[in-house]
Structure 1
Amino acid sequence: MRTENKMAVEPVGKLIWQMSLPPLISMFLQYSYNLIDSAFVAQLSENALTAVSLSFPITTLMNAASIWIGVGVNVLIAGYLGRKEQDKANAAVTHGLLLSFGIGALLTLVSLCMMRPYFRAFTGNEEIYRLSIAYMGVCSFMQIPNMVHIAIQKMIQATGNMVTPMWFQIAGVVVNFVLNPVLIFGIGVFPAMGIVGSASATVSGYLVSMILAFALLLGTKQKVQVKVRGFRLQRRMIGRIFVFGLPSFIMNALSSFMVTIVNLFLVAYSDTAIAFFGAYFKVQQLIVMTVNGLIQGCLPVMRFNYAAGNKERLHLAFRYGTVLVTGMMVLGTLVVVLLPAQILGLFMASEAMRSFGISAMRIMAASYLFCGLSTMISTYFQATEKVYSSIAIQLCRQLLFLVPALWCLDRLFRLNGIWLAFPVAEIAALLVALVMMAWYRRKEGSTPRVADGNDGQTSRR
């Protein structure tokens, strides 16, 4: 019997646009938080910008954990709906909420405990250290609302509703954008809070998004619901949430570790180099993660049709998504290559920062297209339950190839070598991804293994 779910019957091109545009906008808004914070904080001083830059790996790691649970629940729910297992889909919603609250509270405590030794390892400047502690001491409390609202967003997106979750994301960004200058500089009845004001605005934005997300999930009719009656924790379902979301977590968590590693190289040059890279990386993340929003919109389409056994639509979704990713990454590259001085102007860049920053941005922007294509292949593997292959691509991109490239090129070309390491690592990772894709296609005769209906497990040949 033909299903009514649009992911099974809607034309793939139209469906990809419907599914991808809202998460694309959501990711753009999500990563606008960091860019907005840095742009306003830069008006305080370069030391304040450096403090936010040093905090970025911690906040990125926290955000990666949020995406981990969110994407894991998204993939699980999409698979259950593809097999018409509504009760299991509802149980996945409840598991996702419990995990979000529990892990969010744990990460808040970890952040508060680790931030002092972490910042001491990167700066001997007492003002930068003090500002870093003040900023992260508030931002640590963003984790629970961030984790919960992303989880609810991904749950609703898994049903094919990509537009509605976008609105509570927009509300959070608007709150953050309005409160940033008000709390940093002191406007009206509000006192000037400096860098603490920026952190407070960020936490407030996430809190608003969480409240609205809960109102949407519990107060409106959705295709999935919170299961309360007869609910019991299932270790297997929790494990599958972690496994399905793991590639997305690794991709985002590696960004945190990568920034930390790069900062270890840059600290040998200057605090200005660290401030520049922190500012630039927020621009890069805005571009790359916006494209990743498009890719994540493709994920439930590929996952649904894989679980439903529709191999033709699975491959068509992958090809169509790849074309869109290519176009967006080319556009992002052109923006950074053509407008580096204007972008640095957003961060009140000093002449010292501009002296190396303009060329550095152009060099690193050359990596965007290769990054997008390898991430699309990684997501295809994620949707078709080749989880370890998906993880391997992300490890190559941001760790296994990047760290040796940093070490070698830093010694050969000094500071310019650090920037050059990014396109070198991304090109190498894409070559690995293409080889892996060709190997799977040859092994399976261009046909991926199809789920056998046993809770998403694949049949083995």
Structure 2
Amino acid sequence: MTSTQPSSSITEGGLVRPMFELAWPIVVIQLLQVMYNVADTFWLGRLSANAVGAMSIAFPLIFFLISIAGGFTTAGSILVAQYTGADSEGSAGTVAGQILSFVALLSVVLGTLGFFLTEPMLALMPSQGATTVDVVPLARQYMEVFFLGLPFLFGFFVFSSLMRGYGNTRTPMRIMFVSVVVNVILDPIFIFGFGPIEGMGIQGAALATISARAVATVLGLYILFGTSAGPDVQVGDLVPDLGYIWDIVRLGTPSALEQSTSALAMITLTAMVVQFAPPVVSAYGLGNRLASLVFLPAMGLGRATNTMVGQNLGAEKPDRAERAVWLAAKVGSAVMLAVAIVAALFPEPIVGVFMATGTQEAADTIMYGSEYLRIRSAEFAFMALLQVLLGAYRGAGNTKTAMAFSMVALWLGRVPVVYYLAFVQDMGPTGIWMGMAVGNVLGAVAAALWFTRGTWKRTVIDDTSTVVTDGEGD
């Protein structure tokens, strides 16, 4: 099987076109990714406000286990990008196969652990009153079904990451679209029932998501092994090679730690939020999903920057890599500023779309959610800058540096400020929303100051296409 290289425009010619061609499918992929959560939230919002609150509790706990394996998909993207930039197609295919087998095994282990640890994890959440009685049991039902299907979730994550490193972002976008259509169709059927299918409530939302992910995984594996659209992966590449596995672990561990500690920060924040009434919990979950939606341009440019930097450093063009970073930062900040203005001016209609049960709890959720969106709009431009710079560090293989600035944003900014404002200053939900906005501002400023030092411009491969062991350029 032969493999077609992505366009050489990533490492040659102008920067705007390749950046745009990489970024817009990633933005669409992220939009479609968010559509999973939005579809669940839309239909569960018509089931009950408590079901929406249950998703607020379940998501950070699920994300904690997902993030452990998710960090290693970042290593695959880095290595594939740099080998592709260095025109070492065989090594790109081999490392892709190694990532597939490594993460597949890890996802089975984590899914099993998640299923059996669901109840103990929820027991650690300091929920009170109606939240404990009405919301937490629904979260348990959702999580148990979700963890059983975790390998299907990771199948597409790995495929998308490898294809992004290779420079092909349109194929994952098309597969993601198919998967989302399946999810949108199955959601109301599994939640409320249709014909002979009995409604399963919140468990139906989890089952719909997992079923749709299974479709995406099967299609992704076909693309990798049966076509020339991505890295040249052979069945033999799935056999573990300790040399590559070590490189994947070395590069992936900081990213796994970054993502898992980010998830731990989310759990910590959720533990604070669940001490409030159910409408606040629901508004927090709904607000987070809306934030993930409006952050799409920033996330897309950040991931495109990952590929641009990785391939250009692999091609020994560090100056071009730096120019790509600043281009993405300027465009991303400008776009997110425009989005922030809209979110600040019209939060109620945006939030109200997702809550239509007509109850007092729904009205309270809209009120809190609107305040959430208005306050967090202040950080949107900073979020774009931070995501682009983190993408640059990861593309260069400086995963420890990316981890460090994520920790600054979360553990020096967001978590302590939320606690101080919400509880010490007794500002309640308003303090939570304000504290969450502080983290990205602090992280973006710190990451930008460090970036100007220029010490990140090194690759993690050498000119003989073997991975070097001291690639951290920080």
Fold equivalence (TM over 0.5): yes
* CA–CA distance in structure 1, aligned partners of residues 233 and 299 of structure 2: 28
Partner of 1:204: 211
Partner of 1:429: 443
Alpha-carbon RMSD across the aligned residues, in angstroms, is 2.5
Partner of 2:103: 100
Partner of 1:376: 388
**SS in structure 1 of the partner of residue 325 of structure 2:** helix
Query: Which residue of the other structure, out of 166, 169, 185, is the alignment partner of 1:162?
Result: 169
Given residue 431 of structure 2, which amino acid in structure 1 is its aligned partner?
Answer: G
Shifted more, 94-103 versus 422-431: the winner is 422-431
Query: Which residue of the other structure, out of 363, 372, 375, is the alignment partner of 2:375?
Result: 363
Partner of 2:304: 297
Q: Is 1:408 the counterpart of 2:416 in the alignment? A: no
Query: Which residue of the other structure, out of 453, 456, 460, is the alignment partner of 2:463?
Result: 453
Relative to the length of structure 1, the TM-score reads 0.91
Question: C-alpha offsets along residues 391-443 of structure 1, whole Å, 9 cap, x if unaligned?
Answer: 111001112222221222122242122211122222222222122123x23xx
Given residue 382 of structure 2, which amino acid in structure 1 is its aligned partner?
Answer: F
Partner of 1:314: 321
Q: Is 1:116 the counterpart of 2:119 in the alignment? A: yes
Question: C-alpha offsets along residues 51-106 of structure 1, whole Å, 9 cap, x if unaligned?
Answer: 11111112323443454232211110111122222222121121011012101101
* CA–CA distance in structure 1, aligned partners of residues 449 and 419 of structure 2: 26
Question: C-alpha offsets along residues 83-138 of structure 1, whole Å, 9 cap, x if unaligned?
Answer: 22222212112101101210110110111122102223334533323212211111
Shifted more, 45-54 versus 349-358: the winner is 349-358
**SS in structure 1 of the partner of residue 46 of structure 2:** coil
Given residue 107 of structure 2, which amino acid in structure 1 is its aligned partner?
Answer: G
Q: Is 1:264 the counterpart of 2:267 in the alignment? A: no
Partner of 1:60: 63
* CA–CA distance in structure 2, aligned partners of residues 252 and 332 of structure 1: 26
CA 1:251–1:336 in 2, change beyond 3 Å: closer, same or farther? farther
CA 1:354–1:152 in 2, change beyond 3 Å: closer, same or farther? closer
Partner of 1:5: 8
**How high is the sequence identity, in percent, across the aligned residues?**
21
* CA–CA distance in structure 2, aligned partners of residues 288 and 311 of structure 1: 28
Aligned partners of 2:287 and 2:372 also within 8 Å: no
Question: C-alpha offsets along residues 155-201 of structure 1, whole Å, 9 cap, x if unaligned?
Answer: 22322222112111111111111111111112233222211111111
Partner of 2:147: 140
Unmatched 5+ residue regions in structure 2?
1-5
Runs of 4+ in 1 over 6 A off after TM superposition: none
Shifted more, 377-386 versus 51-60: the winner is 377-386
Question: C-alpha offsets along residues 374-407 of structure 1, whole Å, 9 cap, x if unaligned?
Answer: 2222222222233322111100111222222122
Given residue 319 of structure 1, which amino acid in structure 2 is its aligned partner?
Answer: W
Q: Following TM superposition, by how much is the alpha carbon of 1:32 offset from its aligned partner in structure 2, in angstroms?
A: 1.7
* CA–CA distance in structure 2, aligned partners of residues 386 and 230 of structure 1: 26
* CA–CA distance in structure 2, aligned partners of residues 138 and 131 of structure 1: 11
CA 1:199–1:190 in 2, change beyond 3 Å: closer, same or farther? same
Q: Following TM superposition, by how much is the alpha carbon of 1:216 offset from its aligned partner in structure 2, in angstroms?
A: 1.5
**SS in structure 2 of the partner of residue 9 of structure 1:** coil
**SS in structure 1 of the partner of residue 295 of structure 2:** helix
Q: Is 1:190 the counterpart of 2:162 in the alignment? A: no
Given residue 88 of structure 1, which amino acid in structure 2 is its aligned partner?
Answer: S
* CA–CA distance in structure 1, aligned partners of residues 179 and 338 of structure 2: 27
Aligned partners of 1:28 and 1:290 also within 8 Å: no
Given residue 425 of structure 2, which amino acid in structure 1 is its aligned partner?
Answer: L
* CA–CA distance in structure 1, aligned partners of residues 268 and 472 of structure 2: 40
Partner of 1:43: 46
Partner of 1:181: 188
Aligned partners of 2:23 and 2:301 also within 8 Å: yes
Aligned partners of 2:60 and 2:263 also within 8 Å: yes
Aligned partners of 1:66 and 1:146 also within 8 Å: no
Question: C-alpha offsets along residues 218-268 of structure 1, whole Å, 9 cap, x if unaligned?
Answer: 222235222344875233322332444456545543442232212222233
* CA–CA distance in structure 1, aligned partners of residues 249 and 365 of structure 2: 41
* CA–CA distance in structure 2, aligned partners of residues 113 and 26 of structure 1: 31
CA 1:307–1:132 in 2, change beyond 3 Å: closer, same or farther? same
**SS in structure 2 of the partner of residue 221 of structure 1:** coil
CA 1:386–1:153 in 2, change beyond 3 Å: closer, same or farther? closer
Aligned partners of 2:98 and 2:239 also within 8 Å: no
Unmatched 5+ residue regions in structure 1?
none
Given residue 21 of structure 1, which amino acid in structure 2 is its aligned partner?
Answer: W
* CA–CA distance in structure 2, aligned partners of residues 19 and 434 of structure 1: 23
Partner of 1:31: 34
* CA–CA distance in structure 2, aligned partners of residues 175 and 226 of structure 1: 27
Partner of 1:81: 84
Q: Is 1:282 the counterpart of 2:294 in the alignment? A: no
**SS in structure 2 of the partner of residue 238 of structure 1:** helix
**SS in structure 2 of the partner of residue 59 of structure 1:** helix
Given residue 208 of structure 1, which amino acid in structure 2 is its aligned partner?
Answer: V
Partner of 1:325: 332
Q: Following TM superposition, by how much is the alpha carbon of 1:364 offset from its aligned partner in structure 2, in angstroms?
A: 1.8
Question: C-alpha offsets along residues 13-71 of structure 1, whole Å, 9 cap, x if unaligned?
Answer: 10001111111111111122112111211111121111111111123234434542322
**SS in structure 1 of the partner of residue 197 of structure 2:** coil
CA 1:324–1:245 in 2, change beyond 3 Å: closer, same or farther? farther
Aligned partners of 2:77 and 2:164 also within 8 Å: yes
Aligned partners of 2:19 and 2:304 also within 8 Å: yes
Q: Is 1:235 the counterpart of 2:247 in the alignment? A: no
Partner of 1:15: 18
Aligned residues: 454
Partner of 2:3: none
